[in-house]
Amino acid sequence: MIAVPTRCIDCAVRDVALCASMSDDELRALSDMGRRRVLPAGQVVSWAGEPSSSCASVVSGALKATASTADGREQIVGLLFPGDFVGQPFQDDASLTVTTLVATDLCIYPRAGFEHVVDDHPRMERLLLERTLASLSQARGRMLSLARRSAKERVAGFLLELADHTGESGPDGIRVRIPISRGDLADYLGLTIETVSRQLTLLKASGVLGVARGGRDCTIRDRARLEGVAGPQ
């Protein structure tokens, strides 16, 4: 019988990460080459255009994936949360720059070794493909959101996304922390800073949202009403 490593059994994202549906032998093969590392906020995990040498599962924390526009500006194209997969196996160079937003715990695998394990375990290849297709579907959904949804729907939808990924239930509601600056959030949602601030203020005034001083720490006081504001996802 193949023993599953204790650190995998006790892993906080064991049920939601790529390894969630792996058999014991697949998990053992992956664990043998993985290493846990906690990175501070602002640490670049990979640079766009640079060789892709590793991939990872997010255990805790948050990261942003960014691309550079033609005029040299940085544009956030995705956020990564616990359970998400970081990196691009079978691709020599990274296409996006990935940076930690807060202190982030990663389970890191060398890309070459990860690719060998995937080659030896066909079911893992299917799981990885399913993850990739799900990410593409989310990206398409976000593009549709930017094209069709109003400002209040975008902000409400983003808060619900945070609640699903990192929310913590408390006596007064679901507590979330916005991991990016107001400016980055505006860019991510295709809005202006003033519009984002106005929508957060309106949600607070309506009693749906509690916003702490500084604007990063929020409490969703009425999820059902927030879902009504966001509309169909």
Claim to verify: residue 26 and residue 138 sit in the same structural domain: yes
Of 196 and 128, the structure prediction assigns the larger pLDDT to: 196
CB 149, CB 106: distance < 8 Å: no
Claim to verify: residue 19 and residue 121 sit in the same structural domain: yes
β-pair partners for 211: 218
Q: Residue 223: its pLDDT value, please?
A: 96
Claim to verify: residue 181 and residue 204 sit in the same structural domain: yes
For 14-25, the pLDDT digits (tens) are 888 888 777 777
Q: Residue 102: its pLDDT value, please?
A: 92
Q: Phi/psi of residue 97, each to 5°?
A: -95, 130
Claim to verify: residue 18 and residue 125 sit in the same structural domain: yes
Rg (CA), the chain: 19
Claim to verify: residue 155 and residue 119 sit in the same structural domain: no
User: Does 159 reside within a domain?
Assistant: yes
The last residue of one of the domains, among 145, 163, 195, is 145
CB 16, CB 68: distance < 8 Å: no
Parallel, antiparallel, or unpaired for β 217-220 and 173-177?
A: antiparallel
Q: Residue 93: its pLDDT value, please?
A: 92
- Report the chain's mean pLDDT, rounded to a whole number: 88
Q: Where residue 158 sits, what CATH number does that domain have?
A: 1.10.10.10
User: Does 1 reside within a domain?
Assistant: no
The last residue of one of the domains, among 84, 118, 145, is 145
Q: Residue 2: its pLDDT value, please?
A: 58
Claim to verify: residue 101 and residue 136 sit in the same structural domain: yes
What would the mean pLDDT of 185-200 be, rounded to a whole number?
A: 93
Claim to verify: residue 31 and residue 92 sit in the same structural domain: yes
What would the mean pLDDT of 78-82 be, rounded to a whole number?
A: 91
Number of domains the chain is built from: 2
pLDDT-derived band at 3 (thresholds 50, 70, 90) equals: low
Write down the H helix ranges in the chain.
6-9, 24-33, 111-120, 122-148, 151-166, 182-189, 193-205, 223-230
Claim to verify: residue 202 and residue 220 sit in the same structural domain: yes
Q: Residue 149: its pLDDT value, please?
A: 87
Structure tokens at 3: 């023993």
pLDDT-derived band at 27 (thresholds 50, 70, 90) equals: confident
What is the spatial distance between Cα 2 and Cα 141, in angstroms, rounded to a whole number?
A: 40
Of 21 and 88, the structure prediction assigns the larger pLDDT to: 88
Terminal Cα-to-Cα distance of the chain (whole angstroms): 44
What would the mean pLDDT of 120-131 be, rounded to a whole number?
A: 81
Claim to verify: residue 110 and residue 35 sit in the same structural domain: yes
CB 186, CB 155: distance < 8 Å: no
The last residue of one of the domains, among 145, 172, 199, is 145
What would the mean pLDDT of 111-128 be, rounded to a whole number?
A: 84
What is the spatial distance between Cα 182 and Cα 207, in angstroms, rounded to a whole number?
A: 21
- In 3D, which of 166, 168, 164, 198 has the Cα closest to residue 180? 166
Q: Where residue 61 sits, what CATH number does that domain have?
A: 2.60.120.10
Residue 134 has pLDDT above 60, yes or no: yes
Claim to verify: residue 27 and residue 138 sit in the same structural domain: yes
Residue 1 has pLDDT above 60, yes or no: no
CB 50, CB 24: distance < 8 Å: no
- In 3D, which of 153, 134, 155 has the Cα closest to residue 84? 134
For 135-166, the pLDDT digits (tens) are 778 777 777 777 788 999 999 999 999 999 88
Claim to verify: residue 70 and residue 113 sit in the same structural domain: yes
Which residue segment(s) compose the domain that 181 sits in? 149-230
